[in-house]
Amino acid sequence: MERRGFIKSLATGALAASSVTIGQRAFASKAEFNWKMITSWPKNYPLLGTNANHVAKLIEQMSNGRIRIKVYGANELVPAFEVFDAVSRGTAQMGHSGAFYWKGKHQAVQFFGAIPFGMNAQEVNAWLYYGGGMELWEELYDQFNLIPVATGSSGAQMAGWFRHDINSLEDLKGLKMRIPGLGGEVLKRAGGVPVNLPAGEIFTSLQSGAIDATEWTGPYLDLAFGLYKAAKNYYYPGWHEPSTTIEAMINKDAFVALPADLQVIVKQACKSANMDMLAENAAKNNIALDTLVDKHGVQVKCLPDEVLTRLSGLCLEAVQEVAEQDPFSRKVYESYNNFSQRASRWTDISEYAYLKGRSLEGKS
């Protein structure tokens, strides 16, 4: 009898403990969080600024209002190039920017932004999600108390806007161009002068002659910035950013404080937004290009082969130099490079071969 009573008391205690645990989980699931997201873009700027808004809205909707995020444009809370530090120390719970802006923190961050003459958007996403890239990115940002998530992709960009023609390598000598990251390093090796400017300062700098050229993104965003008013020579291809990954960075302490289901929601919302930006940009670039050419008289030109060949060679030197900075940079470089080589074998006989064949349509 005593033994049965003891067992019954144990069962009752276990049930009570279980009820407390379930209750705690239920309470946690109802907890609400108010976050700030700071960005490197002008507030509500097309594609980039609106992608940040889209992420915030998705998270709120998917969480049924348990996470609400207020989005701030560049300079509303912090300057454009201080987003990384501000999120790291917890001034805001999230940031929205491009990894190549933070090469002063660690050279390897550039592999998660854009690599000149590197992988295209489809290949980059494959590397991030299924080739170990995301794990390396997380390992890198962990030392800064951050969790990175890809939240957008530009796809192939344009080479940029130039006040003067580019007919040879000599035309790059002394050229002052707004171009960040490794693209800027390659231009420097070609004799140019790379200038790093936040989005809000690009137009006035080009218009005033403070810079001779600028890259930005592609027709849709370039039209929105009115860059055609400051320069008419619009060059392609975007060798410096064949696909740029836009990042959301999350303060690690804030992320860990979320219940597990909300952590999944935050990451999945960003992943959804990553695909959405790529599709939106592709759709709207088509219309914007027609407007630039037909309405504003923009001259669309291809960079000479000799220029692209030289830049490609200099790019190889620059990327390998980054890889030699430290063991982790080497680790990321090898992962990126190995995946790129494997991916290109398939891309060459699938996407590239198809596009090449499609260009022959009607020519026979």
Cα dihedral angle (162, 168, 172, 175), rounded to 10 degrees?
Answer: -40
Going residue by residue through the chain, which has 364 residues, state the pLDDT in tens, using 9 for 90 and above: 454 554 455 445 544 444 444 334 434 557 999 999 999 999 999 999 999 999 999 999 999 999 999 999 999 999 999 999 999 999 999 999 999 999 999 999 999 999 999 999 999 999 999 999 999 999 999 999 999 999 999 999 999 999 999 999 999 999 999 999 899 999 999 999 999 999 889 999 999 999 999 999 999 999 999 999 999 999 999 999 999 999 999 999 999 999 999 999 999 999 999 999 999 999 999 999 999 999 999 999 999 999 999 999 999 999 999 999 999 999 999 999 999 999 999 999 999 999 999 988 766 5
Distance CA 201, CA 209 (A): 12
Q: Do domains 33-156+244-282 and 160-241+297-351 have the same CATH topology?
A: yes
pTM metric for this prediction: 0.88
Contact between residue 81 and residue 39 where contact means Cβ atoms under 8 Å apart: no
Facing residues of 246 across strands? 98, 152
The residues near 98 (Cβ < 8 Å, ≥ 6 apart) are 40, 113, 114, 180, 181, 244, 245, 246, 247
Distance CA 331, CA 335 (A): 6
Cα dihedral angle (204, 229, 244, 279), rounded to 10 degrees?
Answer: 130
**Hey, where are the domains in the chain?**
33-156+244-282, 160-241+297-351
Distance CA 202, CA 70 (A): 26
What is the H or E stretch that residue 270 is in? helix 260-290
* 33-156+244-282 is a CATH 3.50.30.30 domain: no
- Tell me the two tokens of residue 147: 């969790």
Per-residue DSSP letters for 69-105? EEEE-TTTSS-GGGHHHHHHTTSSSEEEEEGGGGTTT
Say which CATH superfamily domain 160-241+297-351 falls into.
Periplasmic binding protein-like II (3.40.190.10)
